[in-house]
Structure formats: C-alpha cells, structure tokens
Amino acid sequence: MQNLSRFQKNTLLTFSLLAFVAYAPLYYSIRNAIKKETLPVTYESSESVAFISLGEFEIEGKESDPKTLLLLSDLIDFEFNQLTGAVYLGKQTSLSSAKKNRSQFIFYGSFEWRENGIFFIPKLNSIEQKATFMGKSIFVPYEERGKLVSSVYQSLSHLLDETIRLHRLLKRSPEWKIPSQDEFLSESEFVRLSDYNPYLPLDERLSILKSLEFPSEYLQFLKFQSILEKRSEESLKEVWRTAGGNPNLSSYIKFSIAKYIAEYYFAKKEFGKVVEFANAARKEREVSKSVFHSDYADCISLLGKVLVLDGKKEEAVYYLTSARKLYETLGLLQDPSAIENSYFYGLLLYDLSQTELASYELSSIHGQLKDPLEQIYLEYNLAKVYYDLGRYDAALSLLQDQRKSILAEGFPNHDIALYSYNLYAASLYKSGKWSIAKSVWESLVSAKSIYGIEEKPYHRYALFNLAVLSKLKNNPEQTEILYKQYVRLSPYGQIVDLPSKDRFEIGKPIYPYTWDAQIQNSFVEMEEKTIRSYTGRYLFNGQDEEIRARTYENRLEDTNLFLDDLLNTKAFLSKPMSILRKTLFGDLKRFEKGNQIVFFDIGPALNHPEYPGVTSLAVAKHFSGMEVVLWELPGEVDLFLKKVKPELKDRLYSFPNIRILSADGVGEFQTLYSDPNNWILRNRPVPNLKGKTIIIRAANSIDIYEPYTKILPHFQNIGKELKPNPVLYFFNRSILLKPAGTEKFILIGNQSIRGFHHNFQSLDRNGEPPYSILPFTVSEEI
C-alpha cells in the first residue's frame, strides 16, 4: 500500500466502505486481494540463493573409521539433495570445474574418534568472503551413532544459517529437510549399512542390500539404484512400477529414477520413452519446488535434445531456450551439460535460419568440449556456419586448426575429416584459390582406389563440385562425365541440378549423438572396412604345405620400389611422399642403404621348396644395411629346418642382415620378441629396436589367414609396444603409418594388385601405379 498515491488510497477506501454497506462478500473479497498483493514477494535469483557443496571431512587423531565416514558422507549428500531454497551442487569430488567455481559455501568438518564416542566440529568455507567458519561441536556416543547423520546435518545447516544472519549476507537461508533423530537409523542399522561399499561389483552389492531389511529411505534409494544398474528393460520397469506411483517416496528419489531411465533410453535412441520419463523427472522437481537448479535445467535440456533428434525442431526451441536461460541465471554456462545444450541450441538456430545467432552460440563453446572427436565435429559445424555467412577466411582458419587435431588424433580418414576437406575446398574456392580447391576435391574422388568411399555423401559432393568447376571453366565434356558419376551415386530424391553460379554441395551441420563413438587406437570405419576385406579369407590349417608356402620371385617388388623412393636422396617425390619420408626417417643420411631400419616380414614362405623366403631376400639384398627379420610360425620354421635343401638354406644364411623369428605373427610382441628361444640363428644378435624405424609386412600371411578379431588387437599391441618408434606397415595391399610417439595406425595408401593373387602367379599391375598415397593422411596441409 505504501507505493499508492493519496488519491488512490482514498478511492480504494471509498469503494471498500461502499462494498461493506452494499454487499458484504464483495468487501471481504477486496480486503483479501489487498492483503495478498501487499505480502512480500521472494524472488529466486543467483544473487539471493546460496550455492552450496559438500567437501571432504577431516580426521583429528590417529583413530578413524573409513566405513562410517563413507556412509556419513553419502547420507549427508542424499539429504542435502532434498533441500529447497538453495542450490545444492553435490560433493566437491564429483563436481565439474564450473560447479566447483560456482560453489559459494563448502560444508566440511573434522571428526575425532574418542574412547566413548565421536566428536565433530562443523566447518564452512565461504568462498566469497574468503573465510572459514566453525560451528558448535557435537558429540555422539558410539551406541547412538545412528543419530550421527541427523546431528551432523543439523550442525552444518545451523552454521550456514548463522553465518548468513551474523554477517548480514544477502542470501536466503535454505529450507532444510532435517532428518529426525528418532526415525532415521538405529545403531545396528547404521553399522550394517556401513558394510555396504558402492565400489563393490554389482552382484555383491545386490547381495548385501538384499540382506538389509529396515525402514530407511536411503536404503530404498540404494536398492533402486542397484537394480537400475542392471540396465535391462525388465529392471527399469520393475523400479518404476514400484517407485513411480509411491506417495511415500520423496520427490528426489522419484526424480533420480525417472532421470536415469530417461538417459538410458536416450542412449538407446528410443525418443518416445525419453520424453515420457524426462517429463516425469521434470514434474517431480516442480512438485518439490526445486526448479531453480541445474538438475531441472538438465531435464528440460534433455527434452529439447530428444525433440531435435526426433525431427521436432520447432517444439524443441522452447526447451533448449529455457534450459539455456536457466543455466545462464545459475551461472553454469561453462558446465558440460550447459555446453552440450548450447551446442544443440546453436545448431537448431542454424536450422531455423538464425545463422548469425547460431554463429554466436557455437563460437561461445568452441574449445570447451573435452572429447577431441566432438571438438572436431564442432569445428566443422562452426566452419559451415561461417561459410554460409560468407566469412570464408574465418572458415579456412578454423579448418586449418582442425587439421592439426585430426592428424594428432589419427582421424584423417574419419567421416568428419572427409566432410571437412570438402568444406575446406569450397572455402578455398570462395577465397580465390580455385586451383587448390580443385586438387582437394580430386583427392577425395581418387580416394576410391584406396578404400570404399563411393557410397559416402562427401565423395559424390566432390564429384558435383568438380562438375560445377568444369561448367564455370566452360568444359562441357568434363562437366557431363563428372555430373553423370554424381547422379549414379546419389539417391534419387537427393539429386541436385547443376547451378549456373558457384554454389557447391557441402551438406548440413551434424548434430551430436548422430555419430558413433571412436574406440581408442582402433580403426575408423573406412579403415576397418578395408582391413576387414582382407582378413579371414582362408583357413591356414585347411591348406597343403605347398599352398601355405607359395611364393615367387619379384612378387612383392612394389614394396622395394616404395622404400627405394623414400630412401633415395635423388628421387623426385611428391609433397605427401616428402612429408612421409620426414616422418619416418628425419635425417635421411642416417638411413643410407637401410641402416637404422628393422624390417619384419610376417609369413615369408620360409618353407617354400624352391624359393624359401624369396621376397624377404629381395629386401635384404636391395637394402644391405637393413636388418630383415623373417617372422614365421614355429611349425613352418620346423618344416624349413627339416625339409628345405641345405644349399637353399645356405643361400638364405649368406645374407648377414637376415634374422629368423619363430613365433605366432599375431602373438604378444614384447613376449615373443624378448624370448631368446624364438631366435633361430643364435650366432646373430637380436636387433635392438631403440631409436630405429620399423617396417612390417604381412602379405598373404596373417592378413588373409587370421580373422579381424585377431588382427585389430595385433595392430593395437604393435602400436603400444613400439610407441616410441615410427612404424610403416604393409598389410596386404594397404599401407599404414604409425608416427613416433603415437599408438594408432593410419591408412595412408596402397600398393598395386601385383603379387596379391592368392591362387595364381601374376606380376601384372592391371594398369595401376606401383603405389598410391592419400595426400590428406600425412600432411597438415591439404
């Protein structure tokens, strides 16, 4: 009333008196309205609400009980999660850096185990005041330790209330949900519950929880959590059937269950169920009046993300916008959940033709994603937005930085890298560098000779864009050839007519959760398909000795040509080959005639009756300084020693740089290499691999006889054991590289078909060059 003018007050009083005389109910209605409107209104904001977290408890003295401390910390955390009127962020040890930085008050305290009970001093670290406050100590006898949680909770909550009051902080006191001492846990229940360890295997935890039967909300929560961890449809239905409609359960428990189930279905891309359970979780937060919280923001963000992925983008706008505003108000825009929300929000803005706003939103999170592959995808998406805005220099700069990450992570053949090359070429053209753009698109098209790229969108985009270039350069014949290839490879509904201007096919931005996560040190999809295409073709034990040992002279001469080009200082090399040479050898003078190189030939047909190890001998003869290790199966080595003619053995032994390693080609490298019994020529030293360049070849051996399930671990083991060394691997026709200091192999090219016909002898290359290299796999410059 104090804000009303005198005239307004008199008018209101006159109407009230008239109402009282004429119609009493109207008078009371007006009076109640006035009373309601003049009540103080409390607004929740980041300034008035306390942001609190739980730190680690300290121990005074030599005695302590880790089980009690662990249980107490978990119980306090559980109870704090149910308070309102404040934002409880969680345990400090489990918080993101953004939430740690946002925490204004950190609860902790010191425990002392005395002869007859537990002594506790509550403590509070006030970040804004840069001060630590201590509250009144409490003492709980051992026989009453079930009351410990309630006592500690009360002491901590009282300490914060008093700190706010005494220091006149502009903060609201939280609405505490203090557990009752009488109704919480008895001593025996507390002791039995302290035996539960959340870090035990799931089966053991379930067994312990099954033996615990006493009324405790926290115990129920643990049981629900453990059943949910089974991650099966039946377990989810069982938990929600029990908990969903139970009026005796707290909103926090039901919220936690619904959120867990929603995230489970989100991972499985069952979008309808995600919406159902995310809405259930959201409503529980609303019922408990705890919407000013990151958990609530996470729920509405999840709803927005699932609607986007389900194609309902207009509906998603409200949720993603609301979540972003809430994260911003909470001061948590740098939290991983908020960053992901901004990622979706930025891409959604782009889809809704709000390109400038999309640029602002996506650039605000650039560099903040933890996963390198996610960051690479973000850089592509942001560069696409820059391109559409006509900011071609910004797009080029971003894609050039992205290249460094792509090579550092070993992803030059990943889908996102190839999409980015196409975008990079378009940006180059728009910046006036059309000849370089043309060469980039041509390299994408020619990659079909290395792996199966033709079914991929970026391959047909490159064909289309080259057709556009040819049309702009007034070359109708070339335009027709390229465009026909593009049409042949494109789904009917996605075929685009050739434009009259320089408008290129690039594709759309790519949303998170629409690509597969990459397993560490495994091949990307294109590489895996290529390697798989060789493996498991034949059964080794199902073939005769002669077939297993079949080989012929000059069969693998392309390997020698490739290595000769790399090691010959006078050879004229392309830029990619020059970079590869530097990666493998650095100072080429050290590697004259193959010095400082160890060549492993896996399955070299040592048991051949006429040409034992002939392809290995060709390498040893061509590069006299190279140590050549014939890595053969023990059974084949025995046949070589027993059946091969002495003069043929002597010819092989006459090369001083030859070694024979009797071991399984897909065995554990360090174990078999370090075993002296595996080395047949005892009078010759085992090659020292330190500081050496390693070259490996598997041609018609493990590459065709072993299944992919053994080949991938083989590459991973070699990568791990030879991490300090640069490694070049000729696997069947494919050429793979592992730079020094890394563990991941990258497919960089291939050899011709010569010598790779398993069932007949042929030295014909069928018109192919001896070898081909993918330029974008070895250099930061495309």
pLDDT in tens, 224-245: 999 898 888 888 988 999 888 8
Q: Is the pLDDT of residue 545 over 50?
A: no
Q: Is the pLDDT of residue 772 over 80?
A: yes
Three-class DSSP category at 458: helix
Q: Would residue 289 count as lying in a domain?
A: no
Claim to verify: residue 92 and residue 140 sit in the same structural domain? yes
Claim to verify: residue 25 and residue 107 sit in the same structural domain? no
Q: Is the pLDDT of residue 40 over 50?
A: no
Q: State the chain's maximal CA–CA distance in angstroms.
A: 131
Q: Is the pLDDT of residue 260 over 90?
A: yes
- Give 429-478 pLDDT, tens digit per residue: 999 999 999 999 999 999 999 998 999 999 999 999 999 999 999 999 99
Claim to verify: residue 459 and residue 406 sit in the same structural domain? yes
- Give 270-294 pLDDT, tens digit per residue: 999 999 999 999 999 999 989 999 9
Claim to verify: residue 576 and residue 717 sit in the same structural domain? yes
User: Rounded mean pLDDT of 48-69?
Assistant: 92
Claim to verify: residue 77 and residue 112 sit in the same structural domain? yes
Q: Which helix (H) or strand (E) holds 106?
A: strand 105-113
- Give 678-725 pLDDT, tens digit per residue: 999 888 999 999 999 999 999 888 999 999 999 999 999 999 999 999
Claim to verify: residue 637 and residue 750 sit in the same structural domain? yes
Going across the sheet that includes 597-602, the strands are 658-662, 627-632, 597-602, 693-698, 727-731, 734-738, 746-751, 771-773
User: Which pLDDT score is estimated for 546?
Assistant: 45
Claim to verify: residue 77 and residue 174 sit in the same structural domain? yes
- Which neighbouring-strand residues pair with 197? none
Structural domain containing residue 182: 51-189
Q: Would residue 422 count as lying in a domain?
A: yes
Cα dihedral value 232, 233, 234, 236, nearest 10: 90
Q: Is the pLDDT of residue 181 over 70?
A: no
User: Which pLDDT score is estimated for 43?
Assistant: 43
CA 681 to chain CA centroid, Å, is 47
Cα dihedral value 490, 494, 497, 500, nearest 10: -110
User: Rounded mean pLDDT of 327-340?
Assistant: 96
Confidence label for 12 from pLDDT (cuts 50, 70 and 90): low
Q: Is the pLDDT of residue 349 over 60?
A: yes
- Give 485-513 pLDDT, tens digit per residue: 999 999 998 999 999 899 999 999 999 99
User: Which pLDDT score is estimated for 350?
Assistant: 97
- Give 401-427 pLDDT, tens digit per residue: 999 999 999 999 999 999 999 999 999
Confidence label for 337 from pLDDT (cuts 50, 70 and 90): very high
Lowest-pLDDT range, 146-155, 273-282, 324-333, 606-615? 606-615
Confidence label for 207 from pLDDT (cuts 50, 70 and 90): confident
Domains in the chain: how many in total? 4
- Give 725-743 pLDDT, tens digit per residue: 999 999 999 999 999 999 9
Q: Which helix (H) or strand (E) holds 561?
A: helix 557-567
Lowest-pLDDT range, 8-12, 354-358, 667-671? 8-12
Q: For residue 252, what are its two tokens?
A: 């926090």
User: Rounded mean pLDDT of 61-89?
Assistant: 91
What value does the mean pLDDT of the chain take?
A: 89
Claim to verify: residue 24 and residue 103 sit in the same structural domain? no
User: Which pLDDT score is estimated for 541?
Assistant: 54
Q: Residue 702 CB: number of other CB atoms within 10 A?
A: 23
Q: What is the CATH number of the domain that holds 127?
A: 3.40.50
Confidence label for 186 from pLDDT (cuts 50, 70 and 90): confident
Confidence label for 588 from pLDDT (cuts 50, 70 and 90): confident
What's phi and psi for 46, nearest 5 deg?
A: -65, -20
Residues 6+ positions from 343 with CB-CB distance below 8 Å: 362, 365, 369, 378, 512
Check: CB of residue 176 under 8 Å from CB of residue 81.
Answer: no
Check: CB of residue 426 under 8 Å from CB of residue 502.
Answer: no
This prediction's pTM: 0.87
User: Which pLDDT score is estimated for 9?
Assistant: 54
Q: Is the pLDDT of residue 339 over 90?
A: yes
DSSP 345-411: HHHHHHHTT-HHHHHHHHHHTTT--SSHHHHHHHHHHHHHHHHHTT-HHHHHHHHHHHHHHHHHTT-
Q: Would residue 110 count as lying in a domain?
A: yes
User: Which pLDDT score is estimated for 756?
Assistant: 66
User: Which pLDDT score is estimated for 553?
Assistant: 64
Q: Is the pLDDT of residue 373 over 70?
A: yes
Closest CA relative to residue 340, chosen from 388, 295, 302 = 302
Q: Which helix (H) or strand (E) holds 88?
A: strand 87-91
Q: For residue 581, what are its two tokens?
A: 């040479």
DSSP 603-656: S--TT-SSSTTHHHHHHHHH-TTSEEEEEE-HHHHHHHHHHS-HHHHHHHHT-T
Q: What is the CATH number of the domain that holds 374?
A: 1.25.40.10
Of the ranges 168-177, 351-360, 558-567, the best mean pLDDT one: 351-360
Q: Would residue 538 count as lying in a domain?
A: no
Q: For residue 611, what are its two tokens?
A: 């040409």
Claim to verify: residue 478 and residue 621 sit in the same structural domain? no
Claim to verify: residue 767 and residue 678 sit in the same structural domain? yes
Q: Is the pLDDT of residue 759 over 70?
A: no
Q: Is the pLDDT of residue 30 over 70?
A: no
Crossing angle of helices 557-567/614-622, nearest 10°? 20
Q: Would residue 720 count as lying in a domain?
A: yes
User: Rounded mean pLDDT of 149-164?
Assistant: 94
User: Which pLDDT score is estimated for 536?
Assistant: 82
Confidence label for 183 from pLDDT (cuts 50, 70 and 90): low
Q: Would residue 539 count as lying in a domain?
A: no
Q: Would residue 639 count as lying in a domain?
A: yes
Claim to verify: residue 664 and residue 768 sit in the same structural domain? yes
User: Which pLDDT score is estimated for 36?
Assistant: 43
Q: Is the pLDDT of residue 666 over 90?
A: yes
- Final residue before a domain boundary, out of 449, 477, 494: 494
Q: Would residue 588 count as lying in a domain?
A: yes
User: Which pLDDT score is estimated for 532?
Assistant: 95
Claim to verify: residue 415 and residue 472 sit in the same structural domain? yes
- Final residue before a domain boundary, out of 128, 158, 189: 189
